[in-house]
Amino acid sequence: MMATKKCMDSICENFKKNTIKGNAKWRGFLLEILADLKKKMKTATPEDLKLIKAQYAVQTKLLKKMGSAAYLKKNLNLTMKTCRESYCNPGCKSTFYEAGKQLPAAYLKQSFLKNPKTRKIYEDLRKEKFGKRTNVLNDDFYENIKPGDIKKLKAVGAISGCMNGFAYGFDKMLNK
């Protein structure tokens, strides 16, 4: 338990900081898009103007949503949950990579797996990754993670690697 808390304090707090920075960058990007759309409205044909106004409305709504405290809180909670499950989870408990013959019961409770087609895809993927084995972890890290990546993860405080290598952008989340 102490190792998990230490992991959360090091690696996941860093994820949290980078999520906040990333949210601010996206908001800046959306502001640039809105400014560009406003310029286009001045010279647009009547039929293009309808499309531009619709796009402007969508981007404005997204910007407002991203600025809300509820959005940031939800995003941070998801970031922390993902970090904890991926990097601070000895035995990869309740994840796709937990040892056993089938997907773990706790993993199956996730809302996206309630769809039978999605669940079948994940069950097939697990059979493909595990084959006839019941464990694909080496020292709490998925066996196909590159040794160099494991070394980087451990250097920043990770105690597990419950994912298939670095998810897009997650390696950048490790930077302080």
- What is Dmax (Cα atoms) for the chain? 63
160 within a domain of the structure (yes/no): yes
111 within a domain of the structure (yes/no): no
Rounded to a whole number, what is the distance in angstroms from the first to the last CA of the chain? 24
Rounded to whole angstroms, the Cα distance separating 65 from 75 reads 11
30 within a domain of the structure (yes/no): yes
The pLDDT value given to residue 173: 56
74 within a domain of the structure (yes/no): yes
| pLDDT single digits (tens) 42-98 | 999 999 999 999 999 999 999 999 889 999 999 899 989 999 999 999 999 999 999
CA 32 to chain CA mean position, Å: 25
| pLDDT single digits (tens) 85-141 | 999 999 999 999 999 999 999 999 999 999 999 999 999 999 999 999 999 999 999
Beta-carbon neighbour count of residue 14 at 10 Å? 17
The pLDDT value given to residue 171: 59
The pLDDT value given to residue 1: 61
Beta-carbon neighbour count of residue 140 at 10 Å? 17
**Residue 40 in this model has a pLDDT that exceeds 50:** yes
Confidence of residue 3 (pLDDT cuts 50, 70, 90): confident
* Total number of domains constituting the chain: 1
Q: Do 52 and 37 meet the contact criterion of CB atoms below 8 Å apart?
A: yes
84 within a domain of the structure (yes/no): yes
164 within a domain of the structure (yes/no): yes
| pLDDT single digits (tens) 142-175 | 999 989 889 988 988 899 999 876 554 555 555 5
117 within a domain of the structure (yes/no): no
The pLDDT value given to residue 172: 59
Domain extent for 27: 2-99+135-173
Pair of tokens at residue 72: 């940031």
27 within a domain of the structure (yes/no): yes
The pLDDT value given to residue 168: 45
Pair of tokens at residue 12: 């996941």
